[in-house]
C-alpha cells in the first residue's frame, strides 16, 4: 500500500459492520476458554489448561497476569497481543499511582484497556488487538469487581462471564447456575465446573 499508513484498516462496511473487529472477535472465539466469577467477597479467574507439547516448559505459559496490586487479568485470543496490551496497562497503573498517590480502581483499569483497544480501531495502519480480557480485582473499599473487554473497545461489568472456545455454552451454564452473594468456596467451584 504505497503511502497507505494513514489509511485506516478498520473501515465501515456498507451495512454498518467493522469487519476487522468482527474478525478479531473470531480469533478470540478460537482461544482457550477463560471464565471469571464474582462472589460476595471474592473474584475467581480460571483458565483451561491446554495440552502442551512434551518439550515445552509449562511454567512459561502465563494466561492469568497481574496488572497491579489487587487487579489481575485473564485473556482469550492472541498471546502476543495480550502481552503488549498488559505491558501498557501495567505502565498506566504505575503512572496513575505516581500522579494520584492512590491505587487505580478495577473500573479505571478496565476503562483504560477498553480505551486502548478502541484506539486501535480508529487509527490508520494498525489492526485491532485480537483478545478479549477478563479483569478481576478489588477496589479500595474491598468490594470485588469483574469486567470484560473485547476487540471493539467496549467494556462491561459482569457477575460471571466466559470468553474463548465454548464461551456461549459456558455463559448459558452460568445463567442457570449463578447464585447471588456466593461465598469463596461456591465461586471457586462454579468457575472450575
**Partner residues linked to 137 by β-bridges:** 71, 145
Clarify whether 32 is annotated catalytic: yes
- What is the nearest approach in angstroms of other proteins to the Cβ of residue 190? 30
Answer yes or no whether residue 80 interacts with other proteins by CB under 8 A.
Answer: no
Answer yes or no whether residue 99 interacts with other proteins by CB under 8 A.
Answer: yes
- The torsion angles phi and psi of 185, rounded to 5 degrees, stand at -55, -55
- What is the nearest approach in angstroms of other proteins to the Cβ of residue 110? 13
**What is the secondary structure of 7-75 as a DSSP string?**
SBSS-B-TTS-BHHHHHHHHHHHTS--EEEEE-SS-EEEEE--PPPPTTS-GGG---EEEEETTEEEEE
Q: Which is nearer to other proteins, 23 or 108 (CB)?
A: 108
Answer yes or no whether residue 101 interacts with other proteins by CB under 8 A.
Answer: yes
| Under 8 Å between Cβ of 136 and 45 | yes
Q: Which is nearer to other proteins, 143 or 192 (CB)?
A: 143
Answer yes or no whether residue 105 interacts with other proteins by CB under 8 A.
Answer: yes
Edge-to-edge strand list for the sheet holding 155-157? 64-68, 71-77, 131-138, 144-149, 155-157
Answer yes or no whether residue 13 interacts with other proteins by CB under 8 A.
Answer: no
Catalytic residue (one of 10, 32, 34, 187): 32
The count of chain residues that interact with other proteins, using the rule CB under 8 A, is 6
Answer yes or no whether residue 142 interacts with other proteins by CB under 8 A.
Answer: no
Binding site for other proteins (CB under 8 A): 99-102, 105, 108
Q: Which residues are catalytic?
A: 32
Amino acid at each position: 500500500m504505497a503511502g497507505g499508513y494513514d489509511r485506516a484498516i478498520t473501515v465501515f462496511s456498507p451495512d454498518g459492520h467493522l469487519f476487522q473487529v468482527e474478525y478479531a472477535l473470531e480469533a478470540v472465539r478460537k482461544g482457550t476458554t477463560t471464565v471469571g466469577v464474582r462472589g460476595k467477597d471474592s473474584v475467581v479467574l480460571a483458565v483451561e489448561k491446554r495440552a502442551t507439547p512434551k518439550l515445552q516448559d509449562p511454567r512459561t505459559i502465563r494466561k492469568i497476569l497481574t496488572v497491579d496490586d489487587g487487579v489481575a487479568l485473564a485473556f482469550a485470543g492472541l498471546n502476543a497481543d495480550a502481552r503488549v496490551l498488559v505491558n501498557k496497562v501495567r505502565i498506566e497503573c504505575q503512572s496513575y499511582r505516581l500522579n494520584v498517590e492512590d491505587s487505580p480502581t478495577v473500573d479505571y483499569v478496565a476503562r483504560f484497556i477498553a480505551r486502548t483497544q478502541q484506539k486501535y480501531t480508529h487509527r490508520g495502519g494498525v489492526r485491532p488487538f485480537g483478545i478479549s480480557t477478563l479483569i478481576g480485582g478489588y477496589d479500595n473499599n474491598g468490594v470485588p469487581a469483574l469486567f470484560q473487554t473485547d476487540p471493539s473497545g467496549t467494556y462491561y461489568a459482569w457477575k460471571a462471564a466466559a470468553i474463548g472456545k465454548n464461551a456461549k455454552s459456558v455463559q448459558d451454564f452460568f445463567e442457570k447456575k449463578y447464585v447471588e452473594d456466593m461465598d469463596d468456596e461456591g465461586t471457586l467451584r462454579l468457575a472450575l465446573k
